[in-house]
């Protein structure tokens, strides 16, 4: 009998010890019990309600900043309606055990702090993002608020109508009549595309091989200009060889699949960017949009260092052209050197200036095609011998000019036949001959020596 009583007492002591040990374990394990960010470990239900209400009231005394993309606005903390009682009840339900399971540990548990949006909050958010994603984004916002953060709440807008957004940049290029149909199809492919932050766009991956180099370059050009004006990072871009007729020099982007020339850029915007592309009145118009209220940086794109490269004249020759004929087969067009710069001003980084591209456009020289044939020389006129006057006749000097006065020189005439005497030379007459452009002395000699000797 005594042994039975001892066994009963011993069993009771063991059970009581286990109960005490279990109670200690319960309090030790309850450290991880939380409602939102609020630690309620080891508290009774009443204590939990008091603790949650106290911390929530402290958070609601502040203005709460909300960022939608890059835009930031504030609402009062009272715009968030917290339900502390239901939050505590939700945690209690997670930790509830059967009555007979008194010796097991109280399970660790954590639940969200239940919060609802007031009309004031809904209106403030709707004014920034529109109605398209309002419900989805309100849920996202309330989950963040349930953590009672001491930093701004952040929202990203994935979908919005163009009418609910704002334009960041726009670019336009003219189209030929033959290009309208194909570029209308291209515009439909990219219209409505959303670029997420840090996402990369590749022309070749999005559109594939263009119908022609010009068609591909027209679409690439308006996308490139928007990327420049939006402050995006340009990864790959190729210029034209000569100044294009559809864009200012330095602002075009050329697509050549044979040479693997692509257009690539990365969105550096804080929020999503939506692309609008339409064809209207023989023009391709592409714009980049962001959600209403989204803050954007101030971006300025400009050209500097323009230098003219003058065209030259090049002659080419052809056997096909007639003698003396020529044709201009290429009109001249001057080339250009130009640099494109971009200046971005933001609240975080201040003002930053960088060079985007250095562009050289070769001149188109004037090309003249000339005949290789040469004109035949004119036949020479036959030489007619003029009658030489006889010795007895005195050559007459031209009437138009007087013979120049020549100084007499003492010539050595000792070796000449019938050489004149000094008296004869002194009395001789100096006469100019037009036939052989020479001057002669005319003198008289004795009869036995002949008449009219020179």
Query: What is the reported pLDDT for 386?
Result: 59
Whether the pLDDT of residue 179 is over 50: the answer is: yes
**Comparison of pLDDT for 161 and 260, the residue scoring more:** 260
Lowest-pLDDT choice from 70-79, 94-103, 165-174: 94-103
> By three-state DSSP, how is residue 338 classified?
strand
Whether the pLDDT of residue 402 is over 90: the answer is: no
Query: pLDDT category, 452, cuts 50, 70, 90?
Result: very low
Whether the pLDDT of residue 421 is over 80: the answer is: no
Query: What is the reported pLDDT for 11?
Result: 47
**Comparison of pLDDT for 322 and 101, the residue scoring more:** 322
pLDDT in tens, 278-296: 999 899 999 999 877 677 8
Query: What is the reported pLDDT for 420?
Result: 61
Share of the chain above pLDDT 90, in %: 46
Query: What is the reported pLDDT for 9?
Result: 46
Lowest-pLDDT choice from 67-76, 240-249, 366-375, 396-405: 396-405
Closest CA to 288 of 227, 330, 332, 239: 227
Share of the chain above pLDDT 70, in %: 74
Structure tokens at 265: 């850029």
Lowest-pLDDT choice from 72-86, 331-345, 399-413: 399-413
What is d(CA 338, CA 122) in angstroms, rounded to the nearest whole number? 51
The answer to whether 48 and 36 are in contact (CB under 8 A) is no
Query: What is the reported pLDDT for 373?
Result: 80
Query: What is the reported pLDDT for 27?
Result: 42
Largest Cα separation within the chain, whole Å, is 207
Mean pLDDT of 65-72: 77
Mean pLDDT of 110-119: 92
The answer to whether 267 and 196 are in contact (CB under 8 A) is yes
> By three-state DSSP, how is residue 15 classified?
helix
Q: Which long-range contacts (CB under 8 A, 24 or more apart) does 324-329 make?
A: 324/371, 324/375, 325/370, 325/371, 326/368, 326/369, 326/370, 326/371, 327/368, 327/369, 328/366, 328/367, 328/368, 328/369, 329/367, 329/368, 329/369
Whether the pLDDT of residue 17 is over 90: the answer is: no
> By three-state DSSP, how is residue 380 classified?
coil
Most confident of 109-118, 384-393, 403-412: 109-118
Whether the pLDDT of residue 432 is over 70: the answer is: no
Query: What is the reported pLDDT for 450?
Result: 43
Mean pLDDT of 127-144: 84
Mean pLDDT of 314-339: 90
Of the chain, the end-to-end C-alpha distance in Å amounts to 193
Whether the pLDDT of residue 388 is over 60: the answer is: no
Lowest-pLDDT choice from 237-241, 315-319, 339-343, 421-425: 421-425
Query: pLDDT category, 309, cuts 50, 70, 90?
Result: very high
Structure tokens at 96: 């509830």
Averaged confidence pLDDT in the chain:
81
Mean pLDDT of 112-119: 92
Query: pLDDT category, 445, cuts 50, 70, 90?
Result: low
Whether the pLDDT of residue 231 is over 50: the answer is: yes
Query: pLDDT category, 438, cuts 50, 70, 90?
Result: low
Lowest-pLDDT choice from 11-25, 72-86, 168-182, 213-227: 11-25
Mean pLDDT of 217-225: 96
pLDDT in tens, 38-63: 999 888 889 999 999 999 999 999 99
Closest CA to 294 of 133, 124, 125, 71: 71
pTM of the predicted protein model: 0.57
Looking up tokens 């962001």 gives 290
């Amino acid at each position: 009998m005594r042994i039975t009583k001892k066994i009963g007492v011993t069993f009771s002591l063991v059970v009581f010890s286990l109960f005490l040990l279990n109670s200690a374990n319960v309090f030790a394990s309850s450290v991880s019990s939380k409602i939102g960010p609020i630690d309620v470990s080891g508290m009774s239900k009443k204590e939990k309600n008091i603790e949650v209400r106290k911390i929530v009231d402290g958070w609601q005394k502040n203005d709460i900043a909300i960022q939608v993309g890059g835009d930031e606005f504030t609402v009062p903390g009272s715009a968030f309606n917290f339900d502390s009682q239901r939050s505590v009840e939700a945690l209690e339900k997670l930790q509830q055990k059967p009555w007979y399971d008194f010796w097991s540990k109280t399970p660790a548990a954590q639940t969200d702090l239940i919060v609802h949006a007031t009309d004031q909050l809904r209106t403030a958010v709707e004014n920034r993002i529109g109605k398209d994603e309002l419900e989805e984004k309100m849920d996202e916002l309330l989950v963040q608020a349930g953590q009672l953060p001491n930093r701004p709440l952040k929202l990203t807008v994935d979908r919005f109508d163009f009418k609910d957004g704002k334009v960041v940049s726009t670019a336009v290029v003219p189209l030929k009549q033959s290009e309208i149909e194909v570029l209308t199809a291209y515009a439909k492919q990219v219209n409505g595309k959303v670029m997420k932050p840090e996402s990369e766009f590749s022309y070749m991956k999005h559109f594939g091989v263009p119908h022609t180099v010009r068609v591909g370059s027209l679409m690439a050009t308006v996308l490139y200009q928007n990327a420049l004006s939006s402050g995006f990072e340009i990864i790959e871009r190729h210029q034209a060889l000569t100044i294009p007729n559809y864009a200012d020099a330095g602002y075009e982007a050329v697509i050549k699949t044979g040479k693997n020339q692509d257009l690539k850029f990365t969105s550096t915007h804080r929020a999503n960017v939506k692309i609008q592309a339409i064809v209207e009145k023989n023009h391709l118009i592409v714009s980049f949009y962001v959600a209403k209220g989204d803050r954007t940086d101030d971006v300025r794109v400009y050209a500097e260092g323009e230098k003219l490269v003058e065209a030259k004249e090049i002659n080419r020759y052809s056997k096909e052209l007639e003698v003396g004929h020529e044709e201009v087969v290429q009109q001249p067009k001057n080339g250009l050197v130009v640099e494109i710069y971009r200046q971005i001003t933001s609240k975080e980084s201040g003002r930053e200036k960088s060079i985007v591209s250095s562009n050289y456009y070769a001149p188109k020289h004037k090309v003249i095609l000339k005949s290789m044939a040469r004109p035949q020389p004119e036949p020479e006129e036959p030489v007619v011998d003029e009658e030489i006057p006889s010795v007895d006749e005195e050559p007459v000097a031209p009437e138009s000019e007087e013979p120049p006065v020549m100084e007499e020189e003492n010539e050595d005439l000792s070796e000449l036949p019938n050489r004149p005497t000094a008296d004869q030379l002194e009395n001789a007459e100096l006469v100019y001959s037009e036939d052989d452009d020479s001057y002669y002395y005319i003198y008289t000699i004795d009869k036995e020596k002949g008449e009219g000797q020179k």
